[in-house]
Amino acid sequence: MSCLLTSQTFHDATLPTLYRHITVPSSYMFSKLLKHLSRYPDRGTLVRRLDFSHLSSVGLGRTQLMNTKIQNLTADTLLSCLELTPHLREFLVQQHLQDDLSEAVIRKIFCGLPLLNAVDFCGASSSSFRSAFEAIFDPQIPSLPSTFTIKRLSLHECNTLSAQVFEVLLPRLPYLTHLDVCNTTIEESALTAIPKTARLTHLNISRCYRLKGPAVVKFLTTHPAVRDTLVYLNLINDRLLSCSDVEKLLPLLPPTLRALNMGGAKIIGEHVPLLVPLTKHVEELGLGSTELYMDDINSLFITPAPPSTKSGGGDSDGPDGGDLTQQEETGWSSHAVRYLDISGLPGVKPSTLRSTDSCRFLLPAARPLKVLEIGDKLVKGLKDGVTTRQ
């Protein structure tokens, strides 16, 4: 703020930076912002991002009834704010504002902001939000635009929206790059209706229980919007993918992939040879609640033994602490995994993780692995073990 008062030159240079990205932590601050934008409408044209995701009355001693009586942030004032920010590009809200996302607000978001390319409705699931959203994305409304400018869309945990909403909305997103529909009622028909011109790099369809494994595999391996461009893919679901689904999917995942979570899929030891090539470019790998054992995990990261052992002293150590000749003989190359989720794997106990004989991927040879995610019970067991030894 001090830069605004230094000189006119500093004022002109600082003002766009000050208004470009706005985070609203409370309804009181929103009220101040709205009054300011109403007084200086030209400053509203500088706003590119409105972030309400940090807004909450938790800890202020308010009940929901008390919040409804506070008129600082309502559907009407939110709509007024959107009217004053015509160049908005990102709009982020969460469940704390779900009852203020009226039909008029949602219509403004999708139809009245031509530059908007990112929307996040994370956790919004109230009946009023559902009614407003479904009223806008009603297939019987002829005035609904054929396309929207949205590139990044999150309906994470918006689990009350009907499947029909996705079938109406997704075909109208030809520029889509990020889609998060975790724990929603989306069905295969909506996924396949995504325009072929879209280029998805980030896709989260975890815990979408209406999806079927074979249809998901077909979509991921054949649809032009995803088959060659994915960087992040989250498929966490309890047995969404069967053994045959896994066998079909793993060899066809693109080399662009950097984060893959297949937690809950029926992945078994026979699939390890299909996983090994992925570890060469995937940096975050989720294998929680699969049917892999510790030996299977070890074989993803540690150089396998060569078919025959050569005698002599001419061998030299490789950069990861393994034998260089051994790496050359097996054709083994270093993995890229930095984060690994093994929560819920069978046979993994605190004693297993304490032993580098059984948990060899904790050795220096397994670099660049840095983060290991395990379940709550294992964490408690490890803590109890430390306390006992002390």
Residue-wise pLDDT tens digits, 260-302: 999 999 999 999 999 999 999 999 999 999 999 999 999 998 7
- Provide the pLDDT for residue 384: 74
d(CA 231, CA 214): 21
**Residue 194 near residue 200 (C-beta atoms within 8 A):** yes
DSSP assignment letter at 263: T
Percent of the chain whose predicted confidence (pLDDT) is above 90: 68
Torsion angle of alpha carbons 262, 264, 270, 273, nearest 10°?
10
Backbone angles phi, psi at 378, to 5 degrees: -65, -40
- Mean pLDDT of all residues in 303-308: 61
Give the tokens for residue 363: 């050795």
d(CA 184, CA 202): 17
d(CA 124, CA 109): 15
Please tell me which of 23-32, 59-68, 96-105, 194-203 the model is most confident about, judged by mean pLDDT. Answer: 194-203
More confident residue, 329 or 55: 55
- Provide the pLDDT for residue 348: 86
Examine the pLDDT at 243 and tell me if it is beyond 80: yes
Q: Per-residue pLDDT tens for 358-378?
A: 888 888 878 899 999 998 888
- Provide the pLDDT for residue 63: 54
Secondary structure class of 79 (helix, strand, coil): helix
Examine the pLDDT at 331 and tell me if it is beyond 90: no
Give the tokens for residue 295: 């030996």
For every residue of 6-56, DSSP letters joined together read: T-HHHHHHHHHHHHHEEE--SHHHHHHHHHHHHH-HHHHTT--EEE-TT--
Examine the pLDDT at 317 and tell me if it is beyond 50: no
Strand order in the sheet with 202-204: 21-23, 49-51, 90-94, 118-122, 152-154, 178-180, 202-204, 232-234, 259-261, 284-286, 339-341, 371-373
Confidence band (pLDDT; 50, 70, 90) for 111?
very high
Q: Is the preceding peptide bond at 368 cis, omega within 30 degrees of 0?
A: yes
**Residue 196 near residue 221 (C-beta atoms within 8 A):** no
- For helices 127-136 and 103-111, what crossing angle results, to 10°? 50
Examine the pLDDT at 26 and tell me if it is beyond 90: no
d(CA 18, CA 4): 10
Percent of the chain whose predicted confidence (pLDDT) is above 70: 84
Examine the pLDDT at 198 and tell me if it is beyond 80: yes
d(CA 126, CA 341): 32
- Provide the pLDDT for residue 94: 87
d(CA 39, CA 369): 54
d(CA 326, CA 309): 8
- Provide the pLDDT for residue 320: 47
Q: Where in the chain is the domain with CATH 3.80.10.10?
A: 18-58+68-202+210-217, 231-304+325-390
- Provide the pLDDT for residue 321: 46
DSSP assignment letter at 323: B
Q: Is the Cα torsion angle 295, 299, 303, 309 positive or negative in sign?
A: positive
Q: Per-residue pLDDT tens for 247-264?
A: 999 999 999 999 999 999
- Mean pLDDT of all residues in 10-38: 87
More confident residue, 71 or 177: 177
Q: Is 94 exposed, middle or buried (0-12, 13-18, 19+ CB in 10 A)?
A: buried
**Residue 331 near residue 310 (C-beta atoms within 8 A):** no
**Residue 233 near residue 261 (C-beta atoms within 8 A):** yes
For domain 231-304+325-390, which architecture applies?
Alpha-Beta Horseshoe (3.80)
More confident residue, 113 or 325: 113
Give the tokens for residue 278: 């992925």
- Mean pLDDT of all residues in 160-177: 98
More confident residue, 223 or 355: 223
**Residue 302 near residue 334 (C-beta atoms within 8 A):** no
- Provide the pLDDT for residue 177: 99
CA distances 103 to 24, 118, 121, 295, Å, are 22, 19, 14, 54
- Mean pLDDT of all residues in 67-71: 55
Name the average pLDDT for the chain.
Answer: 87
Examine the pLDDT at 313 and tell me if it is beyond 80: no
- Mean pLDDT of all residues in 116-140: 96
- Provide the pLDDT for residue 165: 97
CA distances 241 to 101, 211, 369, Å, are 36, 10, 26
Superfamily per CATH, domain 18-58+68-202+210-217: Ribonuclease Inhibitor (3.80.10.10)
